[in-house]
Amino acid sequence: MNELAYVLINPYTMSKSRTGGVISRLLSRSSSLRLLGARMFAPSKELVEEYIETLTVDEQSGPEQREVELLVREYVRTHYLPDAQGQRQRVMFLLVEGEDAVACVRDEVVGSIIRQTVGETIRDTYGDFIKDAHGRLVYFEPAVLIARTVAQARRQIDVWLKHSTRDSGILHDAIKYPAGVTPEHTLVMFKPDTLAHSRTRMGTVVDLFAKTGLFVIAIKIIHISVAQAMEFYGPVRDIFVEKFADKVRDKAFAALQGAFEFPISVAVAEHLAQELKTANADHEFGKIVQFMTGRNPWQTPQADWPAPGSETCLALVYQGVDAVNKIREQLGSTDPRKAAPATVRKEFGRDVMVNTAHASDSAQNAAREIRIIDLAANDLPALVANFYGA
């Protein structure tokens, strides 16, 4: 049966830059799971307390399992609540769907808190349940939190949705900075090729961006529409007119020479290029829009431009000092062939369009791009309602 499940990436796991590894294992441990939605939360006291109430202890289970369930309740109370100064924690909420998703996440992807294997599941790799020689608990870190049963998953998802309008979104105030430090935020948008061709690449790239020391303060799965893509990439449309003008002239010159038996002057080709350069720019621009949305804008009725595209992207907002430059440096040159070693595009890019991810080139453009893709909008309630047919 197709089910909804969730994974909460704990504040400690995020602070240790293990988010990418968790995402990689979530998507690669089972081919049947699909990442449906993602959202950053800064849980309020009310949300945490309601969530704890859903973490019931199964009295029919063995003593060791009951111990673990009690530890999870206490862990949430200790690590998810705002601190004494009212500072909230960062929690990443991932919504997944798939055949027997709850059991699959529990048994194949996340694994037992009490280690069964080494380095395979999320908790094998990032979780700890350590006791001393006398059986006393020394350290406990579950890495992520999940539901044990389908009923529990639905109830717990509902709790997070109930508070999602107030407690989630772009967490501008989730990180405390020293006095006098002004952080920037910037957008990273993983392109469709990153999500379509590899179930591990997205997490690997998130790990590469973690090298910047910046903080993820927003995340969202998006299906960018033609209208959004036209506005998002609009500034490059005019640039393309002049950028490709010389190529249009050279192509026109070569084509005319081959078409006629008399000499063709460069001036004639130049004149033709002036006539064709805008149409060529629109053609190149249309290829970008089609790549990002799955739809050719010039073959799509304008009335259909606002509809969500068929391609899937992942948008994240990073925050920190000099965030724009740090992300762009780690991303690498637009042309992967010119990118520095160990950058994202050098490792995974193919060409200037299929180059893994987009990153804002200024704080001002970051704000503009975040607005265009409506990243702050809370889509979780609609995703869940659509799944259950509500």
Per-residue pLDDT tens digits for 10-45: 999 999 999 999 999 999 988 889 999 999 999 999
Burial of 338 (0-12, 13-18, 19+ CB in 10 A): exposed
Measured between alpha carbons, how far is residue 151 from residues 50, 105, 156, 384 in Å?
Answer: 16, 14, 9, 14
Q: 252 vs 24, which has greater pLDDT?
A: 24
pLDDT mean over 111-122: 78
Of 133-142, 199-208, 249-258, 323-332, least confident by mean pLDDT is: 249-258
β-pair partners for 313 = 222
Q: How high is the pLDDT of residue 116?
A: 62
The residue that leads in pLDDT, 369 or 237, is 369
Token code pair at residue 58: 């199964």
Other residues' Cβ atoms within 10 Å of the Cβ of residue 33: 23
Q: From residue 278, how far is each of 119, 199, 204, 231, 238 by CA, in Å?
A: 54, 39, 39, 18, 8
| Residues 124-133: tens digit of each pLDDT | 999 998 888 8
What's the confidence (pLDDT) of residue 177? 94
Please, which pLDDT band fits residue 117 given cuts at 50, 70 and 90?
low
- The residue ranking higher by pLDDT, 77 or 264, is 77
- Asked whether residue 251 carries a pLDDT value surpassing 90, the answer given is no
Q: Which residue has the higher pLDDT, 60 or 30?
A: 30
Check whether 246 has a pLDDT greater than 90: no
Domain residue ranges of the chain, discontinuous segments joined by + = 1-170+375-390, 229-304
More confident residue, 187 or 113: 187
Q: At what angle do helices 323-331 and 201-210 cross, to 10 degrees?
A: 130
**Which residue is it, tokens 């990273």?**
188
Given this model, what pLDDT does residue 307 score? 97
Give the sign of the dihedral formed by CA 165, CA 380, CA 89, CA 360. negative
What span, in angstroms and rounded, lies between the C-alpha atoms of 161 and 316?
20
Residues 50 and 42: their CA atoms lie apart, in Å, by: 14
Poorest-confidence range of 102-106, 178-182, 275-279, 318-322?
275-279
Report how far residue 25's alpha carbon sits from residue 316's, in angstroms, rounded to the nearest whole number: 19
pLDDT of residue 257: 87
Q: Is the CATH number of domain 1-170+375-390 1.10.579.10?
A: no
Question: What's the whole-model pTM score?
Answer: 0.92
* Selection from 163, 27, 16, 40 nearest residue 101 by Cα: 27
50 pLDDT above the threshold of 70: yes
**Using CA atoms, how far apart are residues 305 and 157, in angstroms rounded to an integer?**
32
Give the pLDDT band of residue 264 (cuts 50, 70, 90).
Answer: confident
